[in-house]
Amino acid sequence: MPFAIAVDGTRIAYDVQGAGDPLLLISGQSFDRHLWDQFSAAMASRCTVIRYDHRGTGDSDKPAAPAYTTEMFADDAIAVLDAAGFERAHVFGYSMGGRVCQWLAIKHRTRVASLILGATTPGNRHGVAREPWVSALFVKGDTAGMADVFYSPAYLEHHKFSLPSAATPDFAKKLHFTASESHDVWDRLPDIDCPTLVLHGSADRVNPTANAQILADAIPHAQLAIIDGARHGFIDEYLDETCRLTGEFIAAHPVAAPGAGR
């Protein structure tokens, strides 16, 4: 397992598979790289997929300090690109990973060829909050309830539900939660100048669907795609549609900077 070294010395575990333009995948709150198992396997025939474990998760180091922030997570992502040898990449962030992506496109704009913001929000100050009962599911660790807000009953009939955050230590989950809840780059969203696709499920109650339109309106020239019927876990349940939309979008915006690639 290769490791990138973050600015503060934290080791960030990552892997690379496939061939073609690089696509960096950024997981949600407390999730490690295995969130992307189905999607990355499907996309590896079209592009070079780079996945990594957020600090505090998976095989990465799990420092208890300093406090985690979405900006810190964005810097970790750059360390991964550096270690993997990519100057620029397409970037797909899911849930909290979409908030991290916003920082990437603002702070490290020359490294981002295109941006996909999946099932995410602009932050609590200007976003639409989830209903209290949904938040309570995560606080209580209600697996059955969480399964229902991630996937449809039809999908769950044939797929066992498990969250990639199950092995994340409780202290790291709290640090991730604080980082996500504190995210706010609203005033700088108009500075995002890379091609951007906002991708969301029409039945998402973890990050309500209204957030997708808010982001698309705030980011210049952003495209909006809503997957009809999809809940928060659309990257698995609607895998074919997610791959199609992702593939078409990144194909329209190839990584073409001098020195790009490995």
| pTM (global) more than 0.85 | yes
Confidence class for position 261, pLDDT limits 50, 70, 90: very low
The arithmetic mean of pLDDT across residues 96-125, rounded, is: 97
pLDDT of residue 259: 41
pLDDT of residue 260: 40
Tokens representing residue 152 in the block: 């449809």
Domain limits at 55?
A: 3-252
Peptide bond into 164 cis (omega under 30): no
Answer yes or no: is 262 within a domain.
Answer: no
Write the pLDDT tens digit of every residue in 143-167: 889 999 999 999 999 998 887 676 8
DSSP state of 2: -
Kindly list the strands in the beta sheet with 196-201, ordered across the sheet, starting from the edge strand earlier in the chain.
3-5, 11-18, 48-52, 22-26, 89-94, 112-118, 196-201, 223-227
pLDDT of residue 157: 95
Answer yes or no: is 183 within a domain.
Answer: yes
Q: Tell me, what CATH number does 100's domain have? A: 3.40.50.1820
Q: Compute the Cα dihedral for 16, 19, 22, 28 and give only its sign.
A: negative
Q: Calculate the alpha carbon distances from 259 to 20, 85, 89, 199, 262 in Å.
A: 14, 10, 12, 29, 8
- Total domain count, the chain: 1
Write the pLDDT tens digit of every residue in 188-201: 999 999 999 999 99
Confidence class for position 262, pLDDT limits 50, 70, 90: very low
In sequence order, the β-bridge partners of residue 38 are none
Tokens representing residue 239 in the block: 């895998």
Answer yes or no: is 28 within a domain.
Answer: yes
Whether 142 has a pLDDT exceeding 90, the answer reads no
Write the pLDDT tens digit of every residue in 18-66: 999 999 999 999 999 999 999 999 999 999 999 999 999 999 999 999 9
Q: Which amino acid is at 125?
A: R
Percent of residues, the chain, with pLDDT higher than 70: 97
Answer yes or no: is 259 within a domain.
Answer: no
Write the pLDDT tens digit of every residue in 212-228: 999 999 999 999 999 99
